[in-house]
Structure 1
Amino acid sequence: MQDQAARAIALSLSRASWRARVQHAVLAADEVSVTALAGRAGNGLQSTLAAADRRIAAAKGLDAGTGSLLRLRLGNHAMRGALSAGTAPWVAPATADEDATTVVAYDSRGRAHTLDARHAPARPVYVVDIDGSKALAAGLDVLNRQLRHYGLASAAPAPEAGAAGRPQVQAATGGFWTTRITAVELSNDEEPWIKGDAEIYTLVTGFGQDGKVRVDPVDMPYLDNDGTVYRPGQILVNWSDYKYDLADAVMMEEDGSTNYRDLAKAIATALLTITDQGTYVPLVNAVLDAIPNDWWTDDPDYVDSWYTLASSDNGTRYGARGNGWMTVEPYFVQGF
């Protein structure tokens, strides 16, 4: 669908006035809502892109009211000079494949050109991509609702204060203990120039206070680039929701193949067969086994995993896959 949208946009650029409008918009912002912009293009481009938006939302299991997801951006900042100087741009669909060696771009006559994925061309290239932040926010909302539907978002009655082996979950004055991320970094992997920023989320899993498996999706919208240390101060685990002082974390990346309804169903099918045996059982492998097989093919959906995070952990924990690390600390959230 992104490929079809890229070709349609490329063909529309044969008109000078519209080409100039797109150029101005792309140079003025990091990315442009191209479906909205296409309202001034004529020739049915907006309806074509709106239809693509609806199909993309449906393919990702998102609600019909999600709105436009297609975005247009310049391949990289080095292309700005050539674009401003009047070089005719090509249009290419973004790829989620980190191992891609070539990409296809279209010119204003609809002809396809093969480009090197590792080295950006001198010619300016517009990239048609999905708004990852918007898709992820909408997807996690769907995922949360579906997980509740399947019974994987259990209730969290307040446990007795000072439970053995863990920080006091709830103090007399109110509040609860959490694990907070003070720093996080993913490995620095070479990526194609056409690929946009990562959109990362983490599935925190464990046993709820009712003894049933629960899954809590955590959005990490700041974690855009590999090789960069981020210091978010973000709460990862709310221990008042969990029976034991241990939980697991599976870090994932949103990309074009993610269907959130399918993901929720797959996770539920795998985890609902696991029962509380009175001691903590790691759940990472069950989550990974639940991920549809096609998501492992040329897609970076699975980023890393952390087994048995403890409520008392205070320091750096490295992911089991060796692709990242997190520095965490216990953090008490004071009640009011």
Structure 2
Amino acid sequence: MSQSRLRRAAVAFAALPLLALGAGQALAAPAPTPTPASAPAAVSKVTAIEDEVARTLAASLADPALRERLRAATATLADGAELARRDAGLPGSAARGLADATARADRGIAAAKGLGADLGPLLRVQLADPSMRAALDAGTAPLVATAGTDEHARTVRAYDTAGRARGLDAGTLPTRPVYLVDIDTAKALTAGIALLQRELAAQGIAPAAASDAAQAAAGWWGTKLTSVQVNDDEEPWFKGAAEMFSLVSGFGLDGKVRVDSVAMPYLQYDGTVYYPNQILVNWSNYKYNLADVVLMEDDGDTNYLALAQAVAAVLLTIADQGAYIPLVNAVLAALPTSWWTDDPDYVESWYTLARTSSGRLNGARGNGWMTVEPYWVSQL
């Protein structure tokens, strides 16, 4: 079954921090915030933390009462949110122990993604597919796995209630219930985009005040994204919904390379057309009538700090020569090598988007398309 069919069928019955779910098993303390040079290690750290949380949660589910509490919590979002509270009915010390361990895991993931340690809960758990609900309700003991980032994996490691690892076929939906431990990528994306823009500005890319003098009293021209689709890649059942963002690049009014990050949290499923009516480009920020767009995906392991620093290091070497220069290749050249191996964090790109561009624009990779139109944003 294709990922798009599974994703449209699957409802995230619960997305909750892993608090008050077990007997307080300890998790390893998070590593310090990585530098760009250690970005590949940071990626593996995210996977390792999620895997340890999955093992811990699976062992906790040996308790029948706890298993029932999680089953009920994943039935609706509201129930899941209720279970996440420390006063969810478990002994105080056990709830506090797992809450503290989960908080350490959250901080470790935030550090690996280059985000602040005060971001708050990032981990969540949900049933892998609604078809597993009947077996779960009938009392079948569940497995716990992670929504891994390797889309080409042949097997998925899951844990049973005895803490033993089991291999699941990545290409076949299991008949036994499986809970997936995943990152709240919507929350991480929001924080990551903010960090990305701050870091780029600090490096001299996309200066915050560059467009002030250009803002006409009556308003400014923008490019509105009216619809967009990314092709179906037949991804496996254990992949959660994607969280995407775009890097729009060109030359600013000061003649320096400029990059604007645009969050696209609605763009989650392959093979689905979205109609965001979103402003993609504010042309008052740009010197020339052309810009480029690179579409990226946060599969859970994206390190926004490393991304910003890598992109800035490459783009700062490009000087305005009095004419538009395509910047897509420079942005792609800045991506860490690991992003070209296991998971397609680079999704699609569009060259030479103009202020007057309209209609359907196919991506350079042939992996997606978007329709755009000029849009006048008037001041009140």
| TM-score, length of structure 2 as denominator length | 0.82
39-48 or 226-235, which deviates more? 39-48
Match of 1:54 in 2: 107
Match of 2:74 in 1: 26
Match of 2:329 in 1: 285
Q: 1:85: how far off?
A: 1.4
1:194 aligns with 2:238: yes
Aligned partners of 2:231 and 2:271 also within 8 Å = yes
Equivalents in 2 of 1:313, 1:270: separation in Å? 27
Match of 1:45 in 2: 98
Q: 1:181: how far off?
A: 0.7
1:272 paired residue among 307, 316, 319: 316
Q: 1:20: how far off?
A: 1.0
RMSD of aligned alpha carbons: 1.8
Q: 1:256: how far off?
A: 2.7
Match of 1:163 in 2: none
- Identical residues among aligned pairs (%): 57
Aligned partners of 2:59 and 2:163 also within 8 Å = yes
Match of 2:50 in 1: 2
3-state SS, counterpart of residue 64 of structure 1: coil
Q: 1:120: how far off?
A: 1.1
1:223 aligns with 2:300: no
Residue type at the aligned position of 1:143: L
Aligned partners of 2:107 and 2:118 also within 8 Å = no
Aligned partners of 1:12 and 1:45 also within 8 Å = no
3-state SS, counterpart of residue 250 of structure 1: strand
Match of 2:253 in 1: 209
1:95 paired residue among 148, 162, 169: 148
1:14 paired residue among 62, 66, 78: 62
Aligned partners of 2:229 and 2:272 also within 8 Å = yes
Equivalents in 1 of 2:82, 2:314: separation in Å? 39
Relative to 1, partners in 2 of residues 1:130 and 1:62: Cα closer, same or farther, differing over 3 Å?
Answer: same
Equivalents in 2 of 1:287, 1:34: separation in Å? 43
Equivalents in 2 of 1:9, 1:329: separation in Å? 48
Unaligned runs of 5+ in 1: 160-168
Residue type at the aligned position of 1:218: V
Q: 1:37: how far off?
A: 5.1
Q: 1:326: how far off?
A: 0.4
Residue type at the aligned position of 1:2: E
Q: 1:148: how far off?
A: 1.1
Equivalents in 2 of 1:321, 1:297: separation in Å? 16
Relative to 1, partners in 2 of residues 1:203 and 1:282: Cα closer, same or farther, differing over 3 Å?
Answer: same
Equivalents in 2 of 1:150, 1:281: separation in Å? 20
Equivalents in 1 of 2:145, 2:81: separation in Å? 16
Alignment: residue pair count = 325
Equivalents in 2 of 1:33, 1:96: separation in Å? 25
Provide Cα deviations, 1:50-99, integer angstroms capped at 9, x if missing partner: 11111000000001111010010000111111111111111001112221
Equivalents in 2 of 1:245, 1:56: separation in Å? 40
Aligned partners of 2:328 and 2:351 also within 8 Å = yes
Equivalents in 1 of 2:200, 2:252: separation in Å? 13
Q: 1:130: how far off?
A: 0.4
Match of 1:144 in 2: 197
150-159 or 120-129, which deviates more? 150-159
Relative to 1, partners in 2 of residues 1:34 and 1:103: Cα closer, same or farther, differing over 3 Å?
Answer: farther
| TM-score, length of structure 1 as denominator length | 0.93
Unaligned runs of 5+ in 2: 1-48
Match of 2:19 in 1: none
Equivalents in 2 of 1:242, 1:31: separation in Å? 48
Displacement over 4 Å in runs of 4+: 30-35, 37-41
Aligned partners of 2:291 and 2:326 also within 8 Å = yes
Q: 1:31: how far off?
A: 10
Equivalents in 2 of 1:104, 1:34: separation in Å? 29
Q: 1:229: how far off?
A: 0.7
Relative to 1, partners in 2 of residues 1:68 and 1:197: Cα closer, same or farther, differing over 3 Å?
Answer: same
